[in-house]
Homo-oligomer: A and B are copies of this chain.
Amino acid sequence: MDDKGISKAVIKRLPRYYRYLGDLMNNGVERISSSDLSKKMRVTASQIRQDLNNFGGFGQQGYGYNVRYLHTEISKILGLEEEHPMIIVGAGNLGQALANYVEFDKMGFRLVGIFDINPVLEGIGVRGIEIKMISDLPFFLKENNVEIATLTLPKNKAAEMAELLVNNGVKAIWNFAHLDLNVPEDVIVENVHLSESLMTLSYNLSKYKQEHSQDHE
């Protein structure tokens, strides 16, 4: 797999292509023209052609794109052809919600453990996996191959936990705690900052209201 020629901007758009192609596959569509895909995705056909040309230019005049082929190629680039064993640290509402997303499993993010500090939660099963105590985590990480830790602990406990995870060999953190984790450069962090997303929404809403009220002045 060589994606050195693919720009960051394209990479960023790949999950969306992957989703649309997956939907098409589920609907039994075998091929699609760039103009039809363009209408569905609301981007220009030339953008689509440029982006997908990175995958060998399999779009042909009069044939269009082979949906399954493209889906597979993008899946390879995104690392979805391999399994990524994952744990969830923080079995509160959000942690349990994420544990119940069967979709993630289907994409290769195989949930292998759920941990919390609250002894009340110990042994409770979430999708067939018993919640373990965080004190068991170092041993668990030693005995099991875990690539990704989903961090859904409160902010005040997250920094310490990230350190523990990294010290025990976790290579990637999917961070929902609302702080910037301080980890070594070779550890991958992907943040989901929900309150920042809400603030963006609120900003756009305020801006809209402001412009709208000006219209009526």
Contact = CB atoms under 8 A, between A and B. Distances in A.
A1 B210 CA distance: 9
Contact of A107 (B14, B79, B147, B198): B198
A206 B15 contact: no
Contacts of A79: 202-203, 205-207
Given A15-B200, A199-B78, A210-B1, A205 B171 contact: yes
A190 B208 CA distance: 14
A172 B116 CA distance: 34
A196 to B, nearest CB: 4
Contacts of A180: 16, 41-42
Contacts of A192: 192, 194, 197
Contacts of A197: 174, 190, 192
Nearest to A81: B206
Interface in A173-217: 174, 178-180, 186, 188, 190, 192-208, 210
Interface stretch (A27-35, A49-57, A95-103, A159-167): A95-103
Given A42-B180, A100-B93, A103-B195, A188 B206 contact: no
Interface string A116-158: 0000000000000000000000000000000110000000000
A63 interface: no
A149 B146 CA distance: 36
